[in-house]
């Protein structure tokens, strides 16, 4: 899980496991109300498997392998990137292996009008504190937040596999805002619009983009899709 910050002294965290149970405990512990939202595995991208995911889907997290091709694509996108869209909550990633946490912050940060956060909780304070910041200021705010670092460490240690900071996969988030599907990747300079979308078709629209990304790495099995759904 690469970082946009290549300084030798840049912080590195242990990566979060692509595990809904781990992510749920992480989010609930930081301020998402238990009866508001929950993470679920997406077992496949075919329509019948997508229909099995609890609705409504508020955000989609995607874990994929970092390759030379994906790095080159990121550089090309950054080269033509304009000012980051103000339609979505977006932040950069300056902490190594923090992409799981950044992905979850992107997910929650764009649905604060859809779900209730515990007043005075970490997430409540984080989003209020960073609301007027630019993407890099938000990244540095996170980098210097000891409470989040500890919470991330606890969550990273709670997975079923042994945590290691030697990884080559990366989390991104898909969200719908103002009728558009956005890809939110803290390694990039801003959000990427993938065209028209709606809250009701977010999962299907994200699945189409994800299928395209998987096709670029046909020999890899390091993919995982997790939906953040609102509880009934």
Burial class (CB in 10 A: 0-12, 13-18, 19+), 150: exposed
The whole-angstrom distance between residue 218's C-alpha and the CA centroid of its chain comes to 23
Q: Pairing mode, if any, of strands 57-65 and 224-230?
A: antiparallel
39, 106, 152, 170: the active-site residue: 170
Q: In what order do the strands lie in the sheet with 37-41?
A: 37-41, 224-230, 57-65, 169-177, 180-184, 192-196
* Residue 176 falls in the annotated catalytic set: no
Question: Is residue 152 annotated as a catalytic residue, yes or no?
Answer: no
Say if residues 225 and 61 touch (Cβ distance below 8 Å): yes
Q: Is 106 helix (H, G, I), strand (E, B) or coil?
A: helix
**Among residues 157, 148, 113, 195, which one has the least CA distance to residue 29?**
148
Secondary structure of residue 94 in the 3-state scheme: coil
Catalytic residue of the set 99, 106, 152, 173 = 99
Longest Cα separation, the chain: 47
Which residues are known catalytic residues?
A: 99, 170
């Amino acid at each position: 899980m690469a970082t946009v910050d290549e300084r030798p002294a840049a912080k590195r965290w242990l990566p979060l496991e692509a595990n809904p149970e781990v992510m749920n405990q992480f989010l609930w512990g930081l301020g998402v109300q238990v009866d508001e939202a929950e993470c679920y595995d997406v077992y496949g991208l075919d329509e019948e498997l997508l229909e099995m995911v609890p609705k409504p889907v508020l955000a989609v997290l995607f874990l994929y392998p970092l390759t030379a091709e994906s790095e080159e694509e990121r550089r090309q996108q950054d080269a033509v990137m304009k000012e980051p869209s103000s339609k979505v909550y977006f932040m950069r990633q300056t902490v190594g292996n923090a992409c799981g946490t950044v992905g979850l912050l992107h997910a929650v940060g764009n649905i604060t009008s859809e779900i209730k956060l515990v007043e005075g909780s970490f997430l409540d304070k984080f989003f209020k504190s960073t609301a007027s910041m630019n993407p890099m200021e938000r990244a540095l705010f996170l980098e210097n937040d000891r409470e989040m670092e500890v919470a991330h460490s606890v969550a990273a240690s709670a997975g079923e596999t042994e945590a290691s900071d030697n990884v080559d996969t990366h989390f991104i988030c898909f969200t719908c805002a103002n009728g558009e599907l956005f890809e939110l990747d803290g390694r990039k300079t801003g959000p990427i619009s993938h065209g028209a979308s709606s809250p009701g078709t977010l999962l299907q629209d994200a699945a189409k983009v994800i299928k395209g990304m998987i096709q670029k790495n046909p020999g890899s099995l390091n993919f995982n899709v997790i939906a953040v759904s609102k509880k009934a």
